[in-house]
Amino acid sequence: MFIDEIVIEVYGGKGGNGMASYRREKYVEYGGPWGGNGGHGGHVIFVGEEGESTLVNLKYRRHIKAFDGVNGRSKGQHGANGEHMYVKVPLGTVVYNLDKTHKFGEVLTQGQELIIAHGCKGGRGNIAFATPKNSTPDFAEKGDMGEYFKLYLELKVLADVGMIGYPSVGKSTILSVVSNSTPKIAEYPFTTLQPNLGMVYVHDTSFVLADLPGLIENAHQGHGLGIRFLKHIERCRVFLHVLDLTSEDPYDSFIKINHELEMYNETLITRPQIVVCNKMEMPGAMEKFEVLKTKITLPIIAISAISKQNINNLLDLTLKMLEDTPKINLDDVEKEVIYTFKDTEEEQTFDVEIEDGVYVLVGPKIELLFNRTDFSNDESIKRFSRQLRSIGVDEALREKGCKNHDTVRIFKYEFEFIE
């Protein structure tokens, strides 16, 4: 099953909670705090895999979650970091947010790693909060929540050369002749329902050839197989535009297919093309070929995929055009992956909203401090109050008109504002 578009949800690992404990041992006169830090959460990482050719493995794996960090323990023992979740994806996988307004990146090379959802930092134990002023802190932090995203994944086939043209012009037959690929071949339109790739060896070099599903008029508007497979053409450096010499008007087919390319992406029309006139073994085919040569200014060649006539000349011409064509400028691939953990300490933004007389605190910094606080511990609650005051929450509430004993809400929890 060929799947080239899919929606998944990814969850970075949550940081482990810190622990609040004390050292109480015989013959140890001064014990003090002894609670360890929680471990960091793991990342969700996509890894390029040449053996994968479709996103079908993710079709039944829509929720991907990295491992959480381990909670800290007593005796100053820090929790272990959560393991990363590695997900193999085919080369050419592009990762967007759900509405495609932001591109996370794309996987282009074997073994390339792309961090999709970061795991977050673990909470600190009370051993980390000991100071000369407070030598026995009685609180610890909870671990931060991992990143969550709903993603749209799109696969764009990576091939050097792509064959384009109307259905049933012989693209699959050509691919089967010049490579070891065995695409489905039959005498009816839309036999090819998914891109097929083949490795073509010419002399001492090779290139990847893609048999792309047949286009028809108004494909850019969704007709036929439509835009679903037009996107695979974007990665090809050279096009083999296959025409059927037995059709009524091959030149009209040539014009219409190029128009579809231009309407989908105007840069595609500037890509190098070789016009391949197939089925030259049929009666009257060579006469049509001679007419086409007078109308088409691009490199043009007549072949017979069935009898393998002129196939070697086609491969030589294709190889020479590839050598003269620069590679398509794709996004830079990160050669080194730095496994940093998500730290939102710098996100100091927050806002105050008023809903039915209640002052509501919102923003990433508020959420961060709230999630780190253990509200079952009085010392932790007092620290949370001091943290809010230090980032300017009290002043912001007063500016909005908040007075003594007014209600302040953070998420679904309500507090009383005390001057």
Q: Which residue has the tokens 């961060």?
A: 368
* Alpha helix positions (H), 136-232: 171-178, 227-230
Check pLDDT > 60 for residue 217: no
pLDDT score at 185:
47
Output the six-digit token pair for 418. 């005390």
Containing structural domain, residue 35: 1-155
Query: What share of the chain in percent tops pLDDT 90?
Result: 51
DSSP letters spanning 41-90:
PPPEEEEEETT--SSGGGTT--EEEPPPPPPP-STTPPPPPPPPEEEEEE
pLDDT score at 233:
79
Per residue in 96-130, pLDDT (tens digit) is: 999 989 999 999 889 999 999 999 999 999 999 99
User: Is 100 within a domain?
Assistant: yes
Q: Are 168 and 267 contained in the same domain? A: yes
Q: Are 309 and 189 contained in the same domain? A: yes
Q: Are 106 and 145 contained in the same domain? A: yes
User: Is 398 within a domain?
Assistant: yes
Q: Which residue has the tokens 């996988």?
A: 93
Q: Are 58 and 14 contained in the same domain? A: yes
pLDDT score at 329:
66
Q: Are 241 and 308 contained in the same domain? A: yes
Q: Are 262 and 300 contained in the same domain? A: yes
Question: C-alpha distances in angstroms, 254 versus 34, 166, 245, 302?
Answer: 77, 9, 11, 14
Question: C-alpha distances in angstroms, 145 versus 12, 87, 208, 216, 404?
Answer: 8, 21, 43, 49, 33
User: Is 329 within a domain?
Assistant: no
Q: Could you tell me how many helices (H) and strands (E) the chain has, helices first?
A: 8, 18
Strand bridging mode 407-410 / 358-362:
parallel
Q: Are 319 and 185 contained in the same domain? A: yes
Q: Are 30 and 16 contained in the same domain? A: yes
pLDDT score at 339:
56
**Which of 215-219, 332-336, 363-367 has the least mean pLDDT?**
332-336
User: Is 336 within a domain?
Assistant: no
pLDDT score at 243:
93
Q: Are 24 and 138 contained in the same domain? A: yes
pLDDT score at 222:
44
Per residue in 296-330, pLDDT (tens digit) is: 999 999 999 889 999 999 999 999 999 998 877 66
- Angstrom distance (rounded) from CA 88 to CA 335: 17
Burial readout 87-103 (b: 16 or more C-beta within 10 A, e: otherwise): bebbbbbbbbeeeeeee
Output the six-digit token pair for 200. 């073509």
Name the band, by pLDDT with cuts 50, 70 and 90, for residue 227.
low
Name the band, by pLDDT with cuts 50, 70 and 90, for residue 336.
very low
Per residue in 387-412, pLDDT (tens digit) is: 999 999 999 999 999 999 999 999 88
